[in-house]
Amino acid sequence: MAFGSTPADSNNIPAGSVYVPGVGFKVLQGGTIFTDGSSNDSAPVRVEEVGGSKATYTYSINALALLASHTDLLVLRGSATKLVKMVRFEMSGLATTSAQIVALLKKHTIADTGGTGTLGATATKHDSNDGAATAVINTYQTTLPTVDASATIIKAIRINFAPLATTATIADRYLWSLGADAAEPFTLRGVAQEIALNFNAVTITGGLVDFSITWTEE
């Protein structure tokens, strides 16, 4: 015999439903329908990877110059109204002479203060119908900010910067895709929390950095 209608609970919410924050209960979406020998229809539940239909933004820039004893170069600051999750980060770089460098990805629970450069840079929307990003991108390349000592290291990245004067050496490229991990992405709650790319106050002569950072907002 074929299945009947989808049962509902005492609040008339369909049993096969999910709660969408800020929207309410919605019916689950399925894949291609399969009909078995008893005329029962069924379908797999659609499951998204990290991100999926969430509003997603990317900020990328190339050849951003490092200052002497550079600390924070890039900061992704959280939002007053949205939950911000970093899902992808990549970087590479050049120096006057080939150099092995250590860069640090750090999480702040106390926001940077001071510093000048490009503050509030505009990110690219993955879907033009999404609203503007509410998380903030700051890049410090004129004067450095004050970084609170409570910042913790997420990743220590050891890579080679290629020499500026030649194309014979290819720079290393570091990529971290949190969508490929089983763990949850690094999450920023509120404007005091940040993820920063930090060069640990080491001077990299002629240092130029290329990076791209992607996050979701919900």
1 is a domain residue: no
Domain count, the chain: 1
- pTM for the predicted model, two decimal places: 0.79
147 is a domain residue: yes
Residue 12 has pLDDT above 80, yes or no: no
pLDDT at 11: 74
Residue 202 has pLDDT above 50, yes or no: yes
26 is a domain residue: no
Dihedral (C-alpha) 28, 135, 125, 61: value to the nearest 10 degrees?
A: -140
Dihedral (C-alpha) 157, 65, 198, 160: value to the nearest 10 degrees?
A: 10
- Pick from 212, 53, 54, 55: nearest CA to 137: 212
Cα–Cα dist 103/158, whole Å: 7
Give Cα 38 distance to the centre of its chain: 47
pLDDT at 1: 41
pLDDT at 4: 54
Residue 51 has pLDDT above 50, yes or no: no
pLDDT at 46: 63
Please compute, for residue 69, the number of CA atoms within 13 A of its CA located in the half-sphere on the CB side: 4
User: Which range of residues forms the domain containing residue 187?
Assistant: 55-217
Residue 27 has pLDDT above 80, yes or no: no
Residue 195 has pLDDT above 80, yes or no: yes
pLDDT at 26: 72
- Give 39 or 167, the one with higher predicted confidence: 39
Convert the pLDDT of each residue in 54-103 to its tens digit: 899 999 999 999 999 999 999 999 999 999 999 999 999 999 998 899 99
117 is a domain residue: yes
Amino acid at 75: V
pLDDT at 117: 95
**Residue 167, φ and ψ in degrees, nearest 5:** -105, 5
The domain spanning residue 128 has which CATH number? 2.60.120
206 is a domain residue: yes
11 is a domain residue: no
pLDDT at 35: 85
Contacts of 156 (CB under 8 A, 6+ apart): 102, 103, 104
Cβ proximity of 73 and 140 under 8 Å: yes
Percent of the chain with pLDDT over 90: 67
153 is a domain residue: yes
19 is a domain residue: no
Query: Average pLDDT in the 156-177 region?
Result: 85
